[in-house]
């Protein structure tokens, strides 16, 4: 199992940070599969800022993801770390169909995402793949994450 990194995990971009109590902020995280990913790999998509809680989420894809599902949730460990011991939960999406998300975005349907309590530190949001994803230019997974503080 390997950890793949989005521009947010590589600190090339930052998540929008809540500035007002209760104001909802949105960040569109993505990962482009310019390199192949194996079944069981985790994509470190982005970060839930310190003190923030999840309000809503949508998942959509570009390209061919036939037969690929994935879990989206909070990752263990330090944001940006490629330590293969890191894990990924399924608080936001469980077994989301990435092929179907190309034509109909998946809307968050799990109450567990609302139960993720704010933390004092930033936390990674990951996507754990249940099947291999071949590399292809323009093949992307997008997570539209709404959160507040």
Does residue 76 register a pLDDT over 80? yes
More confident position, 17 or 67: 67
Question: Collapsing DSSP states into helix, strand and coil, what is residue 71?
Answer: strand
| Distances in whole angstroms, Cα of residue 52 to Cα of each of 57, 91, 126, 139, 148 | 14, 15, 16, 29, 5
H-helix or E-strand spanning residue 143: strand 140-148
Residues contacting 103, CB < 8 A, separation 6+: none
Distance CA 52, CA 20 (A): 11
**DSSP assigned state of 102:** G
The tens digit of pLDDT for each residue in 100-126 reads: 999 999 999 889 999 999 999 999 999
pLDDT of residue 2: 87
Does residue 31 register a pLDDT over 90? yes
More confident position, 59 or 18: 59
- Beta strands at 3-5 and 42-48: parallel, antiparallel or unpaired: parallel
Mean pLDDT of all residues in 45-68: 96
Residues contacting 100, CB < 8 A, separation 6+: 106
Mean pLDDT of all residues in 74-92: 96
Distance CA 18, CA 102 (A): 29
pLDDT of residue 18: 64
Reference 42, options 76, 1, 91; nearest CA is 1
Mean pLDDT of the chain: 93
Task: Quote the percentage of the chain above a pLDDT of 70.
Answer: 97
């Amino acid at each position: 199992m390997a950890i793949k990194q989005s521009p947010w995990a590589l600190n090339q971009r930052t998540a929008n940070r809540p500035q007002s109590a209760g104001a909802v902020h949105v960040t569109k995280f993505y990962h482009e599969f310019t390199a192949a990913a194996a079944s069981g790999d985790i994509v470190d998509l982005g970060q839930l800022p310190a003190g923030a809680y999840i309000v809503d989420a949508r998942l959509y894809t570009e390209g061919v993801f036939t037969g690929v599902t994935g879990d989206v949730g909070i990752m263990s460990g330090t944001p940006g770390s490629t330590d293969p011991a890191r894990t990924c939960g399924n608080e936001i999406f469980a077994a989301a169909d990435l092929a179907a998300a190309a034509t109909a975005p998946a809307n968050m349907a799990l109450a567990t995402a609302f139960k993720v309590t704010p933390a004092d530190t930033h936390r990674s949001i990951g996507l754990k793949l249940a099947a291999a994803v071949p590399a292809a230019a323009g093949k992307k997974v997008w997570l539209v994450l709404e959160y507040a503080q």
